[in-house]
Amino acid sequence: MKVLSIFGTRPEAIKMAPLVRALAAEPGIDSRICITGQHQSMLQQVLDMFELKADYSLDVMRPDQTLNSLTAALYAAIDPILDEMKPDKVLVHGDTTSAMVAAMSAFHRRIPIGHVEAGLRTGDIRQPWPEEMNRRCIDLISDHLFAPTAESRRNVLGERLQGISFVTGNTVIDALHLTAQRIDSNRQLRHALDRQFSFLVPERKVLVVTGHRRENFGDGFLNICKALGELARRDDIQIVYPVHLNPNVLGPVTEHLGDLPNVHLIKPLDYLSFVRLMQRAHVILTDSGGVQEEAPSVAGQAGSGHARCHRASRGSRRGYRTLGGHRDRRDHSRRERPV
């Protein structure tokens, strides 16, 4: 049996790594990887850490690329690979544009599709954008729907989709546990990772922030930065923000937070280093779907910067909070309470 796993972002690689490793260990399965390359350097770090190698690597990313131009490039690049390999099944993960195009490309060739992380819903087709539309499309055409929670499976059952659905748990937690165990069992590695964060003051609580989503570009990031600036006035808090290199993120974050003494803007971290930073955090504020799922397992509190949150069903019982904030700077008053 030939299985092709197609993914392109670092979060996808992290979540697919345990599954791809398991497939590779099966003697009757010819498992191959195609990476679409949205986060090329960060993605390669994950592949190296989990000892995975891409069989196909696409060159489709361009500066200032629109979603439509990316979609067209992905269709043109993926179809020849499907024609050459002729897989018996295509696996995609989540809700990225690359996942949607990969699934549609397989559907057009009548290749069965497996959707990992099926059934997530906000109920608003435009929130998050374009991910909500992407995952609904993928679920609609998938033959096997691997839902992370019972709630996610109820969503796909309620929509009467044709695919067979299963509750599988979330592979990101498998990847997180593998990585955390590696850190916890190796004192030398742990100390080496901690040296990256030597600027931290032990007496102050650590608030880790990540943000990169398209839906927050513009006023969204501006309002988030203003709220974080208000929080940074407190002398018992230190904010660590690994800033995404996208100019729509880097620009406003640097402008509004770069000169504040309690705010540490750092370069994006590899996965191993970021897991260690999460272990040291008291609070994590993020608009990343993957970090929302990881954070409650390692940090004291976790919060979402989404307008609508679709990943809080488990986290809300484990220190998770949905924190609006990209709409209005007054949100800082709500953020202060859990800290």
249 confidence band (pLDDT: 50, 70, 90): confident
Which is the catalytic residue, given 32, 115, 121, 131? 131
Provide the mean pLDDT of the chain: 86
Is 108 an annotated catalytic residue?
A: no
Which pLDDT tens digit goes with each residue over 303-325? 555 545 555 444 444 554 544 44
pLDDT above 90 (res 244)? no
User: What per-residue confidence (pLDDT) applies to 157?
Assistant: 97
- Domains annotated on the chain, with CATH: 2-169 (3.40.50.2000), 187-336 (3.40.50.2000)
Q: Measured between alpha carbons, how far is 154 from 167 in angstroms, rounded to an integer? A: 10
Is 326 an annotated catalytic residue?
A: no
Total residue length of the chain: 339
338 confidence band (pLDDT: 50, 70, 90): very low
**This prediction's pTM:** 0.77
SS3 312: helix
Question: Which amino acid is located at 332 in the chain?
Answer: H
Is 310 an annotated catalytic residue?
A: no
Which is the catalytic residue, given 21, 214, 282, 329? 214
Q: Measured between alpha carbons, how far is 2 from 31 in angstroms, rounded to an integer? A: 6
Is 332 an annotated catalytic residue?
A: no
Contact 332, 231 (CB under 8 A): yes
User: What per-residue confidence (pLDDT) applies to 322?
Assistant: 47
SS3 124: strand
Question: Which whole number is the average pLDDT over 229-235?
Answer: 89
Question: What is the secondary structure of 27-95 as a DSSP string?
Answer: TT-EEEEEE--TTHHHHHHHHHHTT---SEE-----TT--HHHHHHHHHHHHHHHHHHH--SEEEEETT
